[in-house]
Amino acid sequence: MALLRPPALLLALVVSELHCLPWFINVSESQGPGTTIHSFSFNCTAHMPMLELVHVQPPTTFFNQPSLSRWQKIYVGTVTLNSLARLDALAVNHYELQLRFTCGNNVTEGPLYVDVYRDPGYSPCSGRFASPAGEIIQVRETVTPGAQLYTLLLPGLELQHAQISINSAQDPPYFPGPFSINGQGWLLAPSQGLKGQAGKVFQLQILVTFGQNRSCHGMLKVKVLPVPSSQISFLGQARNITILDDLAPGSQVVQVRARGFDVRYEILSPVPCPLFSIGRGDGVVRTTAPLELAQAWGAAVTRLQVKAYERLRPWASVDLDLTVNVRSVNRWPPRCLPAMLVTEIPETTPVGTVLNTFTCTDPDSPGSTLNYELRFHSPPGPASLCLRGRALEVNATLDCDTPGACFQHAASILVLDGGQPLMTTEVPVLVMVIPVNEFSPACVPHTFRIREDAGPHTLLGSVVGTDKDYPHNSIEYDISGGPTAFSVDRLSGEIHLLGSLDYELQTLYRLTVLVTDQSQDQDPTNRRSGSCTITIEVEDVNDHAPECQPPFQELTIYAPLGRSVEVTKVSCWVPQEPQRLVFSYSIVGGNSQSRFSLQGPILVLNNMLGPPWPEQPHTHELLIRVADAGRSIPHLSATATVIVHLVPWSTSTAATRTRSAAVTSVTTPLLVTDTEAFWQPEPWFVVVLTVTSALFLLALGWLFSRLFQGLAQMLQTPRKPAQALLLNSIQGTEESIEGFMEAPRMEMPQTPSSAMSLLFDGRAQDSRTGRDYLFNTLTGARRWL
């Protein structure tokens, strides 16, 4: 395809201000450097126009900046290939050139698409390499042996399995050693070096074999330059340069300076150099293509070999090796999975357990190393958690059994990349420790004592349960089986009496109290329990008075003088408590002359002492008080009546003793029971009694006020009927009392009037009125107390 067009054809392509863009151009890969790719024309009458090549995709230096020329008021722009252009349809077959046309203030941009197609008849041997004069390269005699001298730029040879070889003679002594070409098309210096070969030109015939029996020839001349006599050298220059990948094409990277006369600069390696270029006169290294590492990782490190030489003496040169490191611009912070961690772990989680492993990547530099830091918020301090690499682990034993120890661990994972500027990502972490019911509750065995007369709801004491799990007092109490006379409060553990107790029936109770924890685990059904034995001892209370059998005895005694005589034995016991056998005996009535005494339960008549013995028979009615003894309180008692008829001893009468059984025709004795009780009211009763007393006093005050009002009215009426009525009431009461007193008196046997006139020798309590009185056992006379 012919790309050079005559002026008449160009005039047909005239458009105003590039409105016909884009253009699509097909170019053969056989086109070499300097070839015109496309020409176009446009009008710009009032201003000086400007045509620019903005950028090329994919980035390359094969295209020159468009040239602009004027022909009969028409401006013609031309796009050509530069001297380094080597088109290869198998490598890149499509280029996009962005053109910018400026005419005054009017700026228009448009693309030019260049498609490179294969040329089956194209020979890779082209350009000066295939010309009769050949390609000429210059090297110094101080070049390193085996160094790369030239690269044969033959596009497509790799895919065609081309073979390049030197088929000309390299015989000594003219050649110090053979030049060679490796598989990459690099011409290498002889292994002996070129020292001492200055001024020589080595001519090499190159044979290129490719395809099916296809080949071509080329000429390469190597001119050896002497060591430069001038002191050309690079000034102090940093060998390693680091730049960011956001530099736009054309941006300055570094400027190299060499000492010499009219110094020029060029890049020796790599050739071609797609990413960087150097100004021939100023030595400024600039970028020629975008350097974004996300799209082109090969641009991360580029090693440039820069040559500085004098324009008039090209052999006077010096090389400088530069390493350009491209660092990715930090645009995005790291991204992590998970972005937030919220988890629950039991307090029994072993140390070293991995809670989660974080996976973070840097969008700017995939595969780069990231740093992880663990920061605590509440509670502060790395006590329970730790970060090992990317894994969050349990660092210490978790314990919820002390106050304030079971809580939420709030932290964050700070992820840092190594870019500039430094970008970070914070991953919130919330670890909630849940309690586990690990221990069974327990309680201490205890013994309580309670009186048998204690009333219902009496508090015996409390069972104290303990639990190592927190909260330690979250315990429920219950009685497992056992007697129903006691109950335990479910929450407080207080033991109360439900019914009545009887020491004579049961003296000891054993309760098995169950203690069960609650709210100690996330699972409400996971509960533990323990037990202990509570012993309750019933304290005996004297609540039964002794009874005597028979309660009444009447005896006739013939007592000799000067000798004591056993009269009778009082037999008493407590039927409800047969084990109680200890009693105290005392004569409380009828023993006015102290003729009788008691030796335990035995009544004894003493004839040796005392007043003179009467000559006539005499009757004594003795009241014997029998009380229980011991530590039991109160002490209860009973009274037995013994009537003794004493007959003086005479010589004609045999000494006999007669014990008669109790008869119903004689006076029925009055048994007096004296009970000493101790009463300690409960607190609630004291409160009720106080309130009741206050109300009673108020009512009594009101009653007195009404009584005084009625008394004032009665003072105005005759008082005699009221007095008569009161007297009759008193007399009726006395007659009823005397009638009651006369009943036992009428049944008593007749006794001498002298014995009846004795003092009161007995004391009793009226069963109807409850009043105490003294009485004479012979006459039956009474005196109210």
Arithmetic mean of pLDDT, 249-259: 90
Output Rg (C-alpha) for the chain, integer angstroms: 68
pLDDT at 651 over 70: no
Amino acid at 7: P
Q: What is the CATH number of domain 23-117?
A: 2.60.40.60
pLDDT exceeding 70 applies to what percent of the chain? Answer: 79
202 vs 648 pLDDT, higher one: 202
pLDDT band at 695 (very low <50, low <70, confident <90, very high): very high
pLDDT at 462: 92
How confident is residue 655, by pLDDT bands cut at 50, 70 and 90? very low
Give the predicted TM-score (pTM) of the model. Answer: 0.38
Structure-model confidence comparison of residues 6 and 570, the more confident one: 570
pLDDT at 573: 81
Report how far residue 148's alpha carbon sits from residue 517's, in angstroms, rounded to the nearest whole number. 87
Q: What pLDDT, on a 0 to 100 scale, did the predictor assign at position 533?
A: 92
Q: Do residues 619 and 613 make contact, with C-beta atoms less than 8 angstroms apart?
A: no
Mean pLDDT, residues 348-365 taken together: 88
Mean local confidence (pLDDT), 607-619: 67
Distance CA 57, CA 98 (A): 8
Does the domain spanning 335-434 belong to CATH 2.60.40.60?
yes
Give residue 427's pLDDT: 94
For 442-539, CATH gives 2.60.40.60
Smallest CA-to-CA distance from 336 within 293, 297, 387 is with 387
The two tokens of residue 17 are 């201000």
| Residue 650 banded pLDDT, cuts 50, 70, 90 | low
Annotated domain spans of the chain: 23-117, 135-225, 233-327, 335-434, 442-539, 547-647
Joined tokens for residue 271: 């050739």
Residue 641, beta-bridge partner list: 552, 623
Confidence of residue 697 (pLDDT cuts 50, 70, 90): very high
* 135-225 against 547-647: fold identical: yes
- When mean pLDDT is compared over 42-51, 67-76, 564-573, the highest value belongs to 564-573
- Select 233-327's CATH number: 1.10.10.10, 2.60.40.60, 2.60.40.10, 3.40.605.10: 2.60.40.60
Q: Which residue would you say has higher pLDDT here, 494 or 409?
A: 494
Residue 39's Cβ-count burial label (10 Å; 0-12, 13-18, 19+) is buried
* CA atoms of 412 and 380, how far apart (whole Å): 12
Answer yes or no: are the C-beta atoms of 440 and 420 closer than 8 Å.
no
Predicted confidence band at 409 (pLDDT cuts at 50, 70, 90)?
A: confident
Of 571 and 130, which is predicted with more confidence?
571
pLDDT surpasses 50 at 734 = no
CATH architecture of the domain covering 135-225: Sandwich (2.60)
**Preceding peptide of 272 cis, ω within 30°:** yes
Q: Who has greater pLDDT, 566 or 21?
A: 566
Least confident range of 127-131, 261-265, 300-304: 127-131
Residue pair 107/100 in contact (Cβ under 8 Å)? The answer is yes
Q: How many CB atoms lie within 10 A of CB 693?
A: 10
DSSP-derived secondary structure for 542-573: -----EESSSEEEEEEEEPTTS-EEEEE--EE
What percent of the chain is predicted at pLDDT more than 90? 19
CATH topology of domain 547-647: Immunoglobulin-like (2.60.40)
Please, which residues bridge with residue 375 across strands? Answer: 412
Per-residue pLDDT reduced to its tens digit, 17-33 = 344 456 788 988 778 77
Q: Looking at residue 177, what DSSP letter applies?
A: S
Q: Which long-range contacts (CB under 8 A, 24 or more apart) does 398-402 make?
A: 398/345, 398/346, 398/347, 398/348, 398/349, 398/433, 399/347, 400/347, 400/433, 400/434, 400/435, 400/436, 400/469, 400/470, 401/347, 401/438, 401/439, 401/468, 401/469, 401/470, 402/470
Q: What is the mean pLDDT of residues 663-687?
A: 56
User: 270 or 766: whose pLDDT is higher?
Assistant: 270
- The average pLDDT across 646-664 equals 49
- Please check the confidence at residue 733 and state whether its pLDDT lies above 50: no
